[in-house]
Chains A and B, each alone.
Chain A
Amino acid sequence: MDPDEYFNRTRMVIVAGKGGVGKTVLSAALARLAARTGRTALLVEVDGRNAVASLFDVAEIAYEETVIAPATDHTAAVRARSITPDTALVEWLDDHGMKLISKRLQRTGAIDVIATATPGIKDLLVLGKIKQLVVESDADVVIVDAPAAGHAMTFLRAPAMLAEMARSGPIHTQAHAVLEMLHDPRQCEVMLVTLPEETPVNELIDTAFQLEDDVGIQLAPVVVNGMYPVIDGLDTDLSNVDLSSVKSNLGAAKIAELRAAGDFRHKRSELQTSQRDRLADMLPLEQLALPYIFDADIGLEQIDELADALARAIEALDV
């Protein structure tokens, strides 16, 4: 599949996964890739962590849409904004003719009582705000860096829960509007990301089935992040190699250490492959593999490297 085709099929990609597996990095790489296809991408952060900012080397991600990577001759711009639950709740009350109570609720602290009394209301309103963006923003693709896996489930389940709880009124209306968006694969899909390790893979599998069963949202191919690039020849049995010339300048102990480093790398790599295979066995979704980057911390240059890898992986999909 061409990346261009991929971004044609849906307007919004929600990136979700366990903490520490590279959600934000993947979101950034997806945004850059979309920009390369000529689409203006809007990156939405919902946990107020400001993690996107350091990747793009900007001071912070504001509530208002701002450009974090300007358009060039070859690419469209990447924009970003941060939507936090508190701002979403206050803005929603304001927008629904409740400006006076929203002020008073904030002042008295009763806004916490509302949020506690109706669990999920903040999640619903963040999603509602995102829906509004999808409708109103002139960005071509919206990428949402979702909360960590456990919370991603509560986040995406909130609309269905509140649609059932509130039988009428503004929350009911909002919940149904968001559900309609979540159920429409042309409007959004979820891209799950994991590391090729036991616990994150298990968590991804659980999350995938729950999302399908409980939320009914379209699932994109899953991303396996941090795959060690294969080094050919690490399984060479060095005992069969004539080492006499090497030994004279290195010594047997150093050679043994070198082999240990190679073996370690080889074992971790095999472990990764076996986890990837296990994921394929247990979850009937295509996989996009992204390489581990050994030589540098993740910055814009590495994001672009990952966007390259993502493009190749998407092209290799046989859909």
Chain B
Amino acid sequence: MSSASFDELIASKSIVVLAGTGGVGKTTTSAVVALHAARAGRKVALVTIDPAKRLADALGLDELSNEPSRIDLTPDDQTTDKAKTTGELWALMLDTKSTFDALIHRYSADPAQADRILSNDFYSNISNALSGTQEYMAMEKLYELAEDGDYDLVIVDTPPSRNALAFLDSPNMLARLLDHWLYKALMTPTRKLLKASNLLLKQLSKVVGGDVVEDIVAFFQAFEGMEDGFKERSQRVMELLASDACAFVLVASARRDTTIEAAYLARQLADNDLDVAAVVMNRLQPDFVRLKRRPRAPEFEPFLQAHDELHALADREETHIESLLSQVASDPVVVRVPLLATDVHDLDGMAELQAKMFQT
């Protein structure tokens, strides 16, 4: 286990990407890390994907926006030290389609080309429904904010899917669509290719209908000349993610199924030569003292039962944590966060989590 603290790790990075499956408290963890860094005096941008409503309310994110808005960190009690922070927290809720639209505007040769693409039905399907697009756009947003240079730290919560790391393939995502044979045929129509592609298009029409095929063809034609810009940008995003400025934090709970999924995410990162810098083990059973001698009063029986159950659970959690860590080769910082007696959905609850997470 790495000897560095979580606090030192976060303080030394300018980009933090949190990955994990659904239901492990990843969004809350992202918010707590962001709050911590802001209270330490840094200017922080937090990219959230789909925060639970009460968390969004707590952060003051009630108005859905794709641009960062500033979160008021002033506690109600003005006398505490926390009121003195010079840091800032800015947060946004990722809007996949507008992020993609902005990208189209950036790389199109002229407004007419952008319009042709943005009004195309096939394009709206890509920007809304193509699997991996949300993950891709989360990284695009990260890149945009990091490039701006306005922030000391950009924190990104990834979508809660098994494909959370689909962005690792993002240089290839559009390329996969754009590069293949059909696209080449439409772009550089040699007679032989054109004949074959016309046949394919005819057959495609039988399956999905003629309108749909016309949209596809129109999209590919409108996209001409833009793909190099896209590919180059994807390449730069990947370089940024692989740089020392960036840390990947794996968030998991200590159950068999969630640690299996977390190990899967860790493997995907490793396959792309990216290190897991920290593992946050979330919602662990709190560590109550283990009794060797047991009180014999009948009133204590229920308490002993609770004691025994919590410890049985804690022991199992420990085996799952060990199993996960044995599959993460990068010597990560390990952060253990206990389950609180109440659910966390306001700034006070987040402050409590922050204290546990950063041992303050």
**A interface with B by C-beta (< 8 Å):** 18-21, 24, 47, 49, 51, 93, 98, 100-101, 104-105, 108-110, 112-114, 116-121, 148, 150-151, 154, 166-167, 169-171, 195, 197-200, 202, 231-234, 236, 238, 241, 243, 245-246, 249-250, 254-255, 257-268, 271, 294-298
Contacts and interface: CB of A to CB of B under 8 A. Distances in A.
B316 interface: yes
Contact of A271 (B295, B301, B306, B343): B343
A295 B296 CA distance: 23
A171 B207 contact: yes
A241 B65 CA distance: 57
A117 B306 contact: no
Nearest to B302: A233
B21 A19 contact: yes
B23 A18 contact: yes
Interface string B22-43: 1110000000000000000000
B125 A110 contact: no
Given A108-B181, A271-B342, A261 B303 contact: yes
A50 to B, nearest CB: 10
B180 interface: yes
Contacts of B1: none
Q: Is the interface of B mostly helix, strand, loop or mixed?
A: helix
27 contacts: A19-B21, A19-B160, A101-B204, A109-B176, A109-B180, A110-B181, A114-B204, A119-B128, A120-B129, A166-B208, A170-B206, A231-B305, A241-B297, A241-B299, A245-B296, A250-B291, A254-B289, A255-B295, A257-B291, A258-B291, A258-B300, A258-B303, A260-B288, A261-B303, A262-B303, A267-B341, A296-B316
Given A101-B204, A295-B312, A234 B302 contact: yes
A198 B316 contact: no
A20 B24 contact: yes
A233 B146 CA distance: 55
A249 B295 contact: yes
Given A108-B182, A113-B177, 20 more contacts: A18-B23, A98-B203, A108-B181, A109-B176, A109-B181, A113-B182, A116-B177, A118-B208, A119-B125, A119-B130, A171-B209, A197-B343, A238-B303, A258-B295, A258-B303, A263-B341, A264-B288, A267-B341, A294-B309, A295-B312
Interface in B117-169: 122, 125-126, 128-130, 160-162
Contacts of A234: 302-303, 306
Nearest to A245: B297
B271 interface: no
Nearest to B210: A169
A232 B343 CA distance: 23
B245 interface: no
B203 A101 contact: yes
Given A169-B209, A257-B289, A238 B299 contact: yes
Contact of A294 (B300, B303, B312): B312
B256 interface: yes
A265 B21 CA distance: 26
B207 A93 contact: yes
B109 to A, nearest CB: 24
A116 B208 CA distance: 11
B212 interface: yes
The winner among B162, B257, B307, B345 for most chain A CB atoms within 10 A is B257
Nearest to A203: B52
A117 B181 contact: no
Contacts of A112: 176-177
B195 interface: no
A166 B208 CA distance: 7
Interface string B305-317: 1110110110010
Contacts of A257: 288-289, 291
B207 A116 contact: no
Contacts of B50: 150
B286 interface: yes
Contacts of B302: 231-234, 236, 262
A297 B128 CA distance: 38
B141 to A, nearest CB: 19
Contacts of B304: 258
B122 A297 contact: no
A187 to B, nearest CB: 26
A108 B180 contact: yes
